[in-house]
Amino acid sequence: MAFMVRALLLVTLGLTACSSSRSPAPAGGAASGSATSAPTAITPPSPTPSSDAVVPMLYAVRKDGQTSHVLGTIDIGLPAPKLPPSVWSAFASAKAVVLEWNFGERTTGLRERMRRDGSKLSDSLTPEERTALAGAVGPGAKDLDTAATWMAPGGVSSTGLPRTDAIQAVLAARAEEQEVPVTYLESMDVQVTRTAKWLDERALRALLADVTAVRRGNLAYLEAYTRGDEAALAELRGERTPWKRAGRTGAELAQLDAETLGDRQATWMATLQPLLTAGGAFIAVDVAHLVGSPNLLARLRDAGYDVTREAP
């Protein structure tokens, strides 16, 4: 369930480890910069030692002689410089960069997302749950006490993962530096609207019931991502036991998949297809959208694109 929570809401506002000193490109479409001239070559980070190699979730998307790339990302746990040269080579040749959403919006409207009735999250939790929350989130638990409920499951779901800059935020900053246009598939407001209702107290309690299992699962997910294991990622993304523990029925789980995965991917296609027709796009979305069912790669194949996994 923790993996699905992160797929629902990529970062919990104000509580993530996106600490890059360079601001991502502005929200609301393309970033400033010329799309007509060839992009300046982007210098990739130093290669990762082979003992710590990452097998990227990188795919070539081809149609009518045009090629673009899709990268599956995670937004906490793996530093972007650990991605191998194949990723940075595809990124360097991109005429346009497409990201899931703008990390520059992560603190937008926080005041409007705080509790307004004077209540506190801790008031509705048992002493054991409060202890589990503090252990999972650390000092951030104090901030969650007066935040909207949906922010807490997002915070707990990342417990145990190394604090790193979000890969998509790093890509946005690099694209801005090189004056490569950036398009965002969603605004933060859209993402919150689509997902927040699922991140209720039931979801939080299901996570807090076994924080050790959440940490263990997080490490398994990070390991599966690092080795580029599609099958393992799909299996972990599809874990349903905690959702069922939270009282979600089969019909609700189908609705959850539709609203937070399938429907979003269908909406993205309207933005993606013109860019794929032009070719040279570098598209980065959370890896949860590329594995299991529904997924974006299957949707692209259904639309007539040839999608193949790139060699590391």
pLDDT tens track of the chain, all 312 residues?
555 555 554 434 333 333 333 333 333 344 333 333 333 333 444 433 344 689 999 999 999 999 999 999 998 899 999 999 999 999 999 999 999 988 777 655 555 567 777 789 999 999 999 999 999 998 888 888 988 888 889 889 889 999 898 899 999 999 999 899 999 999 888 887 788 888 889 999 999 999 999 999 899 999 999 999 999 999 998 887 778 888 898 899 899 889 989 999 999 999 999 999 999 999 999 999 999 999 999 999 999 999 999 987
Predicted pLDDT at 263: 94
DSSP letter assigned to residue 98: E
Predicted pLDDT at 24: 37
Helices 127-137, 201-208: axis angle to 10 degrees equals 80
* 73, 284 Cβ separation under 8 angstroms: yes
Predicted pLDDT at 4: 55
Burial code (b: 16+ CB inside 10 Å, e: under 16) for 146-160 equals ebbbbbbbbbbbbbb
Q: How far apart are CA 181 and CA 97, in angstroms?
A: 6
Q: Which residue has the tokens 């694209």?
A: 175
Predicted pLDDT at 2: 54
Collapsed DSSP state (helix, strand, coil) of residue 265: helix
- For the four alpha carbons of 285, 290, 294 and 298, in that order, the dihedral sign comes to positive
Number of C-beta neighbours around residue 42 at 10 A? 17
Kindly report whether the peptide bond that precedes residue 294 is cis, defined as omega within 30 degrees of 0. yes
Determine the longest span between alpha carbons in the chain, in angstroms. Answer: 61
> CA Rg, the chain, in Å?
19
Helices 127-137, 211-226: axis angle to 10 degrees equals 30
**Nearest Cα to 22, choosing from 253, 212, 178?**
178
Q: How far apart are CA 91 and CA 70, in angstroms?
A: 10
Tokens of 161: 């993962």
Predicted pLDDT at 1: 55
Q: Which residues sit opposite 99 in a β-bridge?
A: 184, 284
Residue 266 zone, left/alpha/beta (φ > 0; ψ -120 to 50; rest): alpha
**Nearest Cα to 88, choosing from 277, 289, 282, 225?**
282
Q: How far apart are CA 101 and CA 198, in angstroms?
A: 19
Tokens of 183: 């398009």
Q: Which residues contact 293 (CB under 8 A, 6 or more apart)?
A: none
Residue 138 zone, left/alpha/beta (φ > 0; ψ -120 to 50; rest): left
